[in-house]
Structure 1
């Protein structure tokens, strides 16, 4: 290993600490060692989706790795040169395709040639942003920063069956500064209830609860029935389109959870964000930070500091010469500003 090895303690957060470290290692060429991977989770160490992210990152940049096996709580990663091209990665479970993709994207944007990546696994997983969130909320902002990325959902994959697939085309791009501190004018809103292999009443009850609690009319409510072979699965998506930002909130059906409670979970997330006056909610905040740091600057407002945001800030500042300032603007609005230190 090279002398300049960044040492990380994975206990400061979950899988995001590892994913951010992989992204940053690839783009900076700096090696890292991480211990106590996901130490505080109920199943610590590398799960299938984390291992897929490690192996995918290693393939994209020809890295030398050790400790890459299921359950491993320690890993070393020494990156090589980033390359573009055609890549296919299979998680083999309902582990999140979107989180594997987000690990690779910063490097692929800096590759010397275009890339096409297909990833199979879970596209709609309760512990990760669903594909709809990436395509409607995160990627439009990445494109405004200059990122040339197209995402296609080929097949839905729910927990526990998986079997979903996404395809992504990435053109080499240079990211530039983005500031998202205000939402701007409200443009539209909609609720989408997706079901696969379940009774149609599930979606109807979720949408009825949305109509009842938010006073939305029928034209803003849509039920989509997917191929039963993709199920069983259910997700409710609430989309709010504003002038400067689109937010997507999701909640997933579970065997022991009433449809109304699923709707309530998504509604409560949205209500918390709307009440705050902040531009981006907590998941989007997590995922804007790294691209802004790579761009050398940017800012956004979000309702509050979260554990994910705090650990992500810590990892980014280990790899990049950036300063990340957090300033409270009232009781439930926090302004995050990223700037280069030299």
Structure 2
């Protein structure tokens, strides 16, 4: 295995470059040097959730690290062996526990023993996938690839308070290729409005907007009232279950944004994906790229090439002997193919 240090410039992307690079450094055993971390963001450098991911990754594989400080714009990470065990990490803010999970979980699949992982922080953060996406969309596909993972959301955590907690249990697993060219026939649709510490009419108005939209019915909508100490917070979740996968689309209530507009944002995401005729929405495309590459190959279709997907592709190809080809699909959208080299 090549032990040469991988050097990356993080100026062109956000935290995704850091997270993927940490995962791949742990798994490949290759030391990492990254500069200009989140260089073009309004608040460049490591924020709390990024720092938690760095320190957690270092603990899991016994890495030596330079630059693991809030605001740091450069990092050197020299990994050791990935060790299974019981781990608990706290972000200390509403930073995304889900994104920290996605940094660590791929590595724990390659650990020497089973693991449990508890992460506290934000579970429903507008700048990250919600925990529901992980549970209903991402993990079922990883399990189809051979990953042995259990997931439990213990407590919701919204912006700005945080305080959520999720737990996963991971067994060492060998990933197999995944091919997702079509979503398949639609089986069901449902909408849930999560609510805590917010007037009840907000959720009712969100769901009323959904019911009036073509393709959605009143029978499959409901308000989920969470304990008051888990808020304040509001999220609208739309699930579309198809033959080959389930997609989750989410929009968050925010001050100054009407309930009807929140619902419109979620519906727009769902419509854009469904009318594209592709299997995987743009956010899931980015999230699937790394596990499929670790499996040695696979393919899927997606509406477009996001900036996250482009930067993630460059990081993966720097670490792994794979090639990621992106071609315009004849029926619309993009065909992504990962092959060994």
Q: What is aligned with 2:82?
A: 82
Q: Which residue of 2 aligns with 1:261?
A: 261
- In the alignment, is the contact (CA less than 8 A) between 1:304 and 1:332 conserved in 2? no
Residues 292-331 of structure 1: CA deviation (Å, up to 9, x unaligned): 1000000000001110000000000000000111111147
| 2:209 alignment partner in structure 1 | 209
Given that 2:44 and 2:73 are in contact with CA atoms closer than 8 Å, whether structure 1 keeps it comes out as yes
Cα distance per residue 1:136-164 (max 9 Å; x no partner): 00000000000001110000000000000
Count matched residues.
Answer: 340
SS of corresponding position for 1:315: helix
Structure 2: how far apart are the matches of 1:63 and 1:3? 14
Q: Residues 209 and 264 of structure 1 are in contact (CA less than 8 Å); yes or no, is this contact kept in structure 2?
A: yes
1:198 aligns with 2:198: yes
Q: Which runs of 5+ in 2 are unaligned?
A: none
Tell me, yes or no, if the aligned pair for 2:187 and 2:241 is still in contact at 8 Å: yes
Secondary structure at the counterpart of residue 222 of structure 2: strand
Provide the rounded CA distance (Å) in 1 between the counterparts of 2:57 and 2:214: 43
Name the SS of the counterpart of 1:244 in structure 2. Answer: coil
8 A contact 1:151–1:169 mirrored in 2: yes
Map of 2:138 onto structure 1: 138
Does residue 43 in structure 1 map to residue 26 in structure 2? no
By how many angstroms is 1:215 displaced? Answer: 4.8
Structure 1: gaps (5+ residues): none
In 1, are the aligned partners of 2:161 and 2:231 still within 8 Å (CA)? Answer: yes
Structure 2 CA distance for partners of 1:201 and 1:298, relative to 1, 3 Å = same
1:46-195 paired onto structure 2 within 5 Å: 46-195=46-195
8 Å contact 2:235–2:252 — kept in the other structure? yes
Pairwise CA RMSD of aligned residues? 1.0
- Distance (Å, rounded) in 1 between the aligned partners of 2:216 and 2:49: 37
SS in 1 for 2:118: strand
Q: Conserved in 2, the CA contact under 8 Å of 1:303 and 1:332?
A: yes
TM-score, reference length from structure 1:
0.98
Contact 2:85 2:116 in 1 (8 A): yes
1:232 maps onto 2:232 in alignment = yes
Q: Is the 8 A contact 2:89 2:119 kept in 1?
A: yes
Q: Structure 1 167/3 Cα, relative in aligned 2: closer, same or farther at 3 Å?
A: closer
Is the contact between residue 238 and residue 248 of structure 1 (CA under 8 Å) also seen in structure 2? Answer: yes
Contact between 2:3 and 2:30, CA under 8 Å: does it hold in 1?
no
Query: Contact (CA 8 Å) 2:154, 2:167: kept in 1 or not?
Result: yes
Distance 1:50 1:216 in 2: 38
Any idea what SS the aligned residue of 2:54 has? helix
1:257–1:324 distance in 2 versus 1, CA, 3 Å:
same
Distance 1:123 1:305 in 2: 26
Residue matched to 1:310: 310
Within 2, Cα distance between the matches of 1:248 and 1:23?
Answer: 24
Judged with a 3 Å threshold, the aligned counterparts in structure 2 of structure 1 residues 115 and 215 are, in CA distance, closer, same or farther, namely same
Mapped to 1, the partners of 2:73 and 2:214 lie a distance apart of 44
Deviation string for 1:61-96 (max 9, x for gaps)? 000000000000000000001000000000000000
Q: Secondary structure at the match of 1:137?
A: helix
Q: Matches of 1:63 and 1:26 in 2, distance apart?
A: 8
Q: Does the aligned pair in 2 maintain the 1:156–1:230 contact within 8 Å? A: yes
The aligned counterpart of 1:275 is 275
In 1, the alpha carbon distance for the partners of 2:324 and 2:3 equals 26
- What is the aligned partner in structure 1 of residue 325 from structure 2? 325
Structure 2: distance between partners of 1:47 and 1:63? 20
Give the equivalent residue in structure 1 for 2:246: 246
